[in-house]
Amino acid sequence: MEGEASGESHNKINKYALACSVVASVISIIFGYDTGVMSGAMLFIKDEMKISEFQVEVLAGILNICALVGSLMAGRTSDQIGRRYTIILASIIFMIGATLMGYGPNYAILLVGRCITGIGVGFALMIAPVYSAEISSSATRGFLTSLPELCIALGILTGYVSNYCFGKIGVKIGWRLMLGVAAIPSLALACGVLAMPESPRWLVLQGRLKDAREVLSKVSNTEEEAELRFRDIKLAAGIAEDCHQDVVKLNRNTHGEGVWRELLKPTPAVRRILVAAIGIHFFEHAVGIEAIMLYSPRIFKKAGIMAKDKLLLATVGVGIVKTLFILVATFFLDKIGRRRLLFISTIGVTISLTVIGFSLTMVEKSKGNLLWALILSIISVYVFVAFFNSGIAPITWVYSAEIFPLKLRAQGMSIGVAVNRLTNAAISLSFISIYEAITIGGTFFMFAGISVIALIFFYFCLPETKGKSLEEIEMLFGGNPHPSSNEDGRARNDV
């Protein structure tokens, strides 16, 4: 009975850990808002500033180029100053970028503001899931680590609603309000994060054992669970299990030095982890989600919706579907597993992309208005968003945040985020050019083909990690069993 009670307690979400993850994930709402609001703001920016299609593509894609730089900086930064202060830094960067974009007297300043925001995006995408993963137990890690992705969806939906509301104010003021209002929550978040604890994993790496133990007491449901997690984290950091000092000095670098050397010359296990992390981040955007999220007004226009208010309203529907299905996924990640959800999601994405390609091709080839093709286009876009966000979207961030060993986690995750942003940028910068070259229907057929390759990759390269400890995850990728395993071979809580 005691073991059952302990199991039930372990599976129960700790309220304090949940609150910390929610606060940390607010940074993702701000990023999501910027992504969503820009899809509508570009319609008004293009009209006012009379910029070319190429300049629109640059404005859309430059954020991801700068996010790539930001993500590579964020890993080392978070190892040096801690996870909490990295979130604060990301908030400040967002605030500066949003203020410049809201001011936006000309294209050059608008582009500078977008670049600064992009650096903030790189920080946010790396740090939010890493922090959430590091304060959660193995039983609730999927739920808590998927919260940043849910918050991105909420932010995108808020951005779409902002487009619809502010779009009625006027061309000159409307889009500036759309972009500039993001500075307010950025400032609020920077202040709110000060009330959060630091990651216990980072504290242990700094030798601050007493502080780490106090945090673990708050984010664990029982003292027994906190003690088990504390012991495993100490062993992963190379500290003796029987060490009871408040502060220890580790005989090695503790601020991320040397990590890049281990990542660039990896062991076989780390190499497999890198392949898995880079692959899942690449395919998340290679299947075309950015084309839907950023250019959905254009897609709906190609399908036959011409009025701006109706275009923006149809885009709001995309945001609602995205948010609802990510919310569903967060509750199933720890129940039915990463792989099963990923397979269902990718198969659904492949089918819906094929239908989008077919319906848009029929619209383009038709001389008149095909009502059935218009309806099919809109429905298939919504179905694509539903399947994508019920699996691929949240699992990408959960999976990559949990598979890296403790010492490599922040900077390893930053590599995955850099690939994510690079792929995102490639789609953002080239989508218009590609659909002008091979038609918009042909472009979505191309995305469908890529999603088939993604399914094959997921099947062979991504083992199931649901409910597994760090020791077990390392063994899945070919690593050696961790010394903190129990004598009967079962690993303790995750590190």
Classify 258-478 by CATH class: mainly alpha
Q: Please report the sign of the dihedral spanned by the C-alpha atoms of residue 466, residue 471, residue 473, residue 478.
A: negative
Residues 213-253: pLDDT tens digits? 999 999 999 899 899 888 888 877 778 777 777 777 765 55
**Which tokens sit at 382?**
């919504």
**Residue 388 pLDDT > 90, yes or no?**
yes
Residues 111-164: pLDDT tens digits? 999 999 989 988 988 898 889 988 988 888 888 888 888 888 888 888 888 887
pLDDT at 432: 81
| Residue ranges covered by each domain of the chain | 14-249, 258-478
Query: What is the average per-residue pLDDT within 22-35?
Result: 85
**Residue 318 pLDDT > 50, yes or no?**
yes
Q: Are the folds of 14-249 and 258-478 the same?
A: yes
pLDDT at 471: 58
pLDDT at 121: 87
Q: What is the mean pLDDT of the chain?
A: 83
How far is the C-alpha of 30 from the C-alpha of 359, rounded, in Å? 34
At 410, the pLDDT band (50, 70, 90 cuts) reads confident
Residues 34-55: pLDDT tens digits? 877 887 788 788 878 888 878 8
Lowest-confidence segment of 90-99, 270-279, 422-431 by average pLDDT: 422-431
**Residue 61 pLDDT > 60, yes or no?**
yes
**Topology of domain 14-249, CATH:** Growth Hormone; Chain: A; (1.20.1250)
pLDDT at 488: 37
At 278, the pLDDT band (50, 70, 90 cuts) reads very high
> Percentage of the chain with pLDDT > 70?
87
pLDDT at 136: 87
**Residue 199 pLDDT > 70, yes or no?**
yes
> Of residues 15 and 12, which shows the higher confidence score?
15
**Residue 59 pLDDT > 90, yes or no?**
no
Q: Do 253 and 263 contact (CB within 8 A), yes or no?
A: no
Name residues whose C-beta falls within 8 Å of residue 478's C-beta, 6 or more positions apart in sequence. 268, 269, 272
Residues 169-190: pLDDT tens digits? 776 787 888 888 888 888 888 8
Q: Please report the sign of the dihedral spanned by the C-alpha atoms of residue 153, residue 158, residue 162, residue 165.
A: positive
